[in-house]
Structure 1
Amino acid sequence: MQPGDEERRGGESRSPAELPARQSPLALKVGRRDASEMALFQSVFSKDAPKPGQSRLRLMPDDGSDTFRSVRRGVAAFAEGAFAAIRNPNSHEAGLPELPEHLGVFSTLARWVDTAALAL
């Protein structure tokens, strides 16, 4: 953590992925600012049906197929892994040689959010 990080976070000492996803493209698309980025990915790609205030994102229509279930489960797992293994640890380091690959991971997540259909 850098000096001043706690002040910018309102005095909280949690990692960035644990903080509310206030203005992320995902939060804006689903209209939620009540959860961390990782928790929001888990929620919007949940197997549960949408509920009031908890919309879902779908990369393909839910046709009940194994493919639909695999894609939904894979996106949620990919996002959790990206935040846990890349974003959280690397938010505290500088000059990482694998940064281009890490940007590719988050670019993939951003594309999925951008192209996913909103299920209300």
Structure 2
Amino acid sequence: PVMQEEIFGPVLPIIEFENLDEVIERIKLRPKPLALYFFTTSKDREEKILNSISFGGGCINDTIMHLVSKQMPFGGVGESGMGSYHGRKSFDTFTHYKSILRKSNVLDVALRYPNRKNLKLVKKILK
């Protein structure tokens, strides 16, 4: 059956719907799409589709241009992948940022490292 998995071409399924709510419900039944291309002259329909469906990226009244633009991040959500790349986003996506917290041991609070002597005091404080 058509549209059971992601389609990477050269097939373009065309499915007719009576109203926009039907389209939104049908899309929400499947895993989140990598891309969404929506053609409309209505700002209300555009806002409704963009606010109702989670997808990786897309275009309004065009196709593929979000993919070829080096300034726009490209990537998926859910089963289509996580994260995005292109331009600065490529650097951020493929860079590992190692976080390190360095704490001074000057004025270190002894209660932080309880021993048997301080255990009763710590238990009182934690009650």
Report the TM-score range of the alignment, normalised by the length of the smaller protein. under 0.3
Q: Please say which structure displays the higher CA radius of gyration.
A: 2
Higher helix share: 1
Higher relative contact order (CA 8 A, sep 6+): 1
Q: What TM-score, normalized to structure 2?
A: 0.20
